[in-house]
Structure 1
Amino acid sequence: MVLQFSYGLVYTFGNLLPYLASYLRWKVDPQLNDGSLIWFQSFLAGFPFAFLVGAYLEKLIGARWGAALGSFLYTGGLALSYLSIQKSYFSLWLPHRVGLVSGLITAGFGSGAFLISPIQTKFINPNNFNVDANGYFTQEELLERVPKMFLLLAFIFGTLQFFALIFIGDPPQEMLLKNESEEENARIDPRILEHRLSMASCVSYTSTIHYNAPTHSKSAILCSDTFFFIFVTLMLNDIWVQTISGFYKAYGQTFIHDDFFLATINAFAAVFNTISRISWGAIADKFSYQLSMSIACTFGAVLMWTLGLVKLSGSPALYFVWICAMFCCVGATFSLVPYAAHRCFGSDNFGFSYGCLQMAMFAAGIFNALASQFLLNIIGFQIHFTFIGFTMFMSLLLTIFVSRTQFGQLAI
Structure 2
Amino acid sequence: MGMVIGGLVERKFGGRTGALLGSIIYTFGVGSTFYSIQHSYAATLLTMGGIASVGSSIAYSSILPTAQRWLPDNVGLAGGVIIGGYGCGAFILSPLQTTFINPLDYSVNDQGFFTQEDLLERVPYVFIVMAIFFTVFQSIGLIFVGQPSSDIHVETENLIGTNSEIRVEQARVWPQLRTTTFLVLFLSLTCNATWVQLTSGLYKAYGQQFIDSDFFLSLIGSISSVFNAGSRVFWGAIADTTSYRFSMSIVCSLGAVLAFCLPLVKMIDNDVLFLATVCLIFSCIGGTFSIFPFITHKCFSKANFSVMYGFLQCAVSVAGLIAGLISTHALNEIGFEYLFIVCGFFMLTSLFLTFIVHKTDLAQLMVTAEREHLEEDYQIYQ
283 and 213 in structure 1: CA distance in 2 versus 1, 3 angstrom threshold: farther
Q: Determine if the alignment matches structure 1 residue 145 to structure 2 residue 117.
A: no
Q: Determine if the alignment matches structure 1 residue 68 to structure 2 residue 20.
A: yes
Corresponding residue for residue 71 of structure 2: 94
213 and 182 in structure 1: CA distance in 2 versus 1, 3 angstrom threshold: farther
Runs of at least 4 residues off by over 6 Å: none
Q: 1:182, CA displacement in angstroms?
A: 2.8
Hey, what's the Cα distance between the residues in 2 that align with 1:403 and 1:64?
A: 34
Q: Determine if the alignment matches structure 1 residue 169 to structure 2 residue 141.
A: no
Q: 1:51, CA displacement in angstroms?
A: 1.3
Hey, what's the Cα distance between the residues in 2 that align with 1:346 and 1:277?
A: 21
Corresponding residue for residue 353 of structure 2: 398
352 and 369 in structure 1: CA distance in 2 versus 1, 3 angstrom threshold: same
CA contact (8 A) 1:272 1:327 kept: yes
1:192-228 Cα distance to aligned partner (Å, 9 max, x none): xxxxxxxxxxx36xxxxxx756322323311211111
Number of residue pairs matched by the alignment: 341
Instruction: Give the secondary-structure state (helix, strand or coil) at the position aligned to 1:234.
Output: helix
1:255-290 Cα distance to aligned partner (Å, 9 max, x none): 100000000000000000111100000000110011
Q: Determine if the alignment matches structure 1 residue 302 to structure 2 residue 257.
A: yes
Q: Which moved more, 1:66-75 or 1:100-109?
A: 66-75
Q: 1:105, CA displacement in angstroms?
A: 0.4
Q: Determine if the alignment matches structure 1 residue 231 to structure 2 residue 208.
A: no
Corresponding residue for residue 214 of structure 1: 168
Question: Which of 234, 240, 254 is matched with 1:279 structurally?
Answer: 234
Q: 1:183, CA displacement in angstroms?
A: 2.8
CA contact (8 A) 1:86 1:147 kept: yes
Q: 1:122, CA displacement in angstroms?
A: 0.6
Q: 1:383, CA displacement in angstroms?
A: 1.2
Which TM-score applies when normalising by structure 1? 0.80
Hey, what's the Cα distance between the residues in 1 that align with 2:319 and 2:160?
A: 38
Q: Determine if the alignment matches structure 1 residue 126 to structure 2 residue 126.
A: no
- Matched residue type, 1:339: F
Corresponding residue for residue 55 of structure 1: 7
Hey, what's the Cα distance between the residues in 1 that align with 2:340 and 2:332?
A: 13
1:156-189 Cα distance to aligned partner (Å, 9 max, x none): 01110011111112111223xx4597335677xx
CA contact (8 A) 1:300 1:326 kept: yes
Q: Determine if the alignment matches structure 1 residue 107 to structure 2 residue 84.
A: yes
- Matched residue type, 1:382: E
Hey, what's the Cα distance between the residues in 2 that align with 1:248 and 1:398?
A: 26
Q: Which moved more, 1:258-267 or 1:384-393?
A: 384-393
Q: Determine if the alignment matches structure 1 residue 245 to structure 2 residue 245.
A: no
- Matched residue type, 1:224: T
Hey, what's the Cα distance between the residues in 2 that align with 1:152 and 1:114?
A: 16
Hey, what's the Cα distance between the residues in 2 that align with 1:408 and 1:395?
A: 17
Corresponding residue for residue 154 of structure 1: 131
Hey, what's the Cα distance between the residues in 2 that align with 1:290 and 1:104?
A: 21
CA contact (8 A) 1:213 1:346 kept: no
In structure 2, stretches of 5+ residues that fail to align are: 44-66, 371-382
374 and 324 in structure 1: CA distance in 2 versus 1, 3 angstrom threshold: same
Q: Determine if the alignment matches structure 1 residue 369 to structure 2 residue 344.
A: no
Q: 1:134, CA displacement in angstroms?
A: 1.5
Mapping of residues 301-380 of structure 1, within 5 Å: 301-380=256-335
User: Aligned Cα RMSD in Å?
Assistant: 1.7
Hey, what's the Cα distance between the residues in 2 that align with 1:62 and 1:170?
A: 8
Q: Which moved more, 1:370-379 or 1:96-105?
A: 370-379
- Matched residue type, 2:103: P
CA contact (8 A) 1:293 1:399 kept: yes
Hey, what's the Cα distance between the residues in 2 that align with 1:184 and 1:272?
A: 31
Q: Which has the higher helix share?
A: 2
Q: Determine if the alignment matches structure 1 residue 80 to structure 2 residue 69.
A: no
Hey, what's the Cα distance between the residues in 1 that align with 2:159 and 2:87?
A: 32
Higher relative contact order (CA 8 A, sep 6+): 1
179 and 212 in structure 1: CA distance in 2 versus 1, 3 angstrom threshold: farther
Q: Determine if the alignment matches structure 1 residue 259 to structure 2 residue 246.
A: no
181 and 131 in structure 1: CA distance in 2 versus 1, 3 angstrom threshold: closer
1:351-404 Cα distance to aligned partner (Å, 9 max, x none): 121111011111111111111111111211111111111100000000011111
69 and 127 in structure 1: CA distance in 2 versus 1, 3 angstrom threshold: same
Corresponding residue for residue 196 of structure 1: none
Q: 1:114, CA displacement in angstroms?
A: 0.5
Corresponding residue for residue 59 of structure 2: none
CA contact (8 A) 1:184 1:213 kept: no
Hey, what's the Cα distance between the residues in 2 that align with 1:256 and 1:70?
A: 38
Q: 1:154, CA displacement in angstroms?
A: 0.7
In structure 1, stretches of 5+ residues that fail to align are: 1-48, 188-202, 205-210
380 and 92 in structure 1: CA distance in 2 versus 1, 3 angstrom threshold: same
Corresponding residue for residue 38 of structure 1: none
